Structure 1
Amino acid sequence: MTAEVRPVLAARGLTVVHRGPDGPVTAVRGAVLDLVPGRTVALTGRSGSGKTSLLTALGLLAVPTAGTVLVDGRDTAGLSDAALSALRRDRLGFVFQSFHLLPQFTATENVALAHPGGLRRGAGPARLLLNGVGLGHRLGHRPRELSAGEQQRVALARALVNRPAVLLADEPTGNLDAESASAVLDLLTRSAAQDGCAVLLVTHSAEVAARADRVLEMADGVLGGGAPPALPCPPAHAPGAAS
């Protein structure tokens, strides 16, 4: 008898409504989603379909209008700002299309600053991660001295330095050439396969989506289908049905 894999991050009836100039706009409509350790999920859909709004709510960066986000089975509705901040720090990692690196700091410092122990205690883990992403020769360089692909790898190392249970990536290859994009995707999928991280990857690219274990699509705020079936441990490959 196989053990059921519990989702580390889940959405139940998640709805996000924005206030637009002509009235309320529903960006996400009742989304149901489970992210489990060790699997990469790609989220596709046209611009304006609600992908980023869903990612923002899942990442506890915005309070949903209805429904809830669960982290490790814990309902996050009603948690204080401090508690939400602690969950983001301890359990979640973020990678965005814009790198958001601090220009005055080196690659090592940019990663180390995201470590729970701060710059002093994070320098060693930062160097290890940067070596792991092929930037051991760029540790002392500042963002302006790095290519776009190198900056995104620094941003990915920064997202991984707190050893997150979930990695949320919003178009992380959108500004990269094909070679750099492939390197970043290798790192993302390796984080899932080797480190047991649950990865949600928002992308417009069919080639990028094809690298995921599961592909979901959003249209007009709707994430198709219901909750996926319980997965055995280790999880088997699931078809690309919507969750």
Structure 2
Amino acid sequence: MYYKIIDGKKIFVALIAMLAVALAPSVVSSVRADDIVGTNHDDVLPGTNDNDRIWGLKGDDVMWGKSGEDKLYGDDGEDNIMGNSGDDFILAGDNEDIVEGNGGDDTIYGGKNSDVIQGNSGDDDITGGKGNDIIEGNRDNDVIFASRGDDWAAGNKGNDWVYGEQGDDKLKGYAGKDNLFGGSGDDRLSGGKGNDKLYGGQGDDVLRGGSGADKFDCDGGHDIIVDYNPSQGDTKKSNCEDF
């Protein structure tokens, strides 16, 4: 692995051979950097403890930030991207990527293909983009836009807002007081634990509130509530059908 330092600020990384991910931090951690740029090959790109900007370019890259508020760009290729601690910005890129925000309040965009995205700890804003994405906010209070494609999106812990938008989506709240919006398409919404609000949107949707006093709004389309239970505090608008 070779480095070229320009003005003490930029590092251009050219991998001659793929190194083990475990060895990469020991190579770079002694260098303070703002900008780290990969090559058109498969790169391993560890950040520093500063506020880094990391570009993968082409190739199937592995990149991660450390402490600091980092910006990571996968670009082309099937990339593995981890933000780690700090409030990070991640743009996955054009292919099928795996993204983890980890600590901090992160902003994550999936890009043009089918991605797997986890926000993990922190209040994260996640947008899936095009493709059939798998998105999980995980801990804390997250906002998720599944966007285009037939997506699976879940808030998990915390009081989450999950939007299916376009496509036939599966949305889950799990724990917490969640708000689920189906959008267009034939969607399946499941609130889970807590007092949730479920909005079917357009299309023929299936709504399941789960435990708690849930509110249902079916909007356009022919929507069905599969577990409507007024005795536990559930309420619905007149445009909803239950059985």
Structure 1 and Structure 2 fold alike (TM over 0.5): no
Hey, which of these two has a bigger chunk of helix by percent? 1
Computing the radius of gyration over CA atoms, which structure comes out larger, 1 or 2?
2
Hey, which of these two has a bigger chunk of strand by percent? 2
Compute the TM-score of the two structures, normalised by the length of structure 1. 0.26
Compute the TM-score of the two structures, normalised by the length of structure 2. 0.26
More contact order relative to length (CA 8 Å, sep ≥ 6): 1
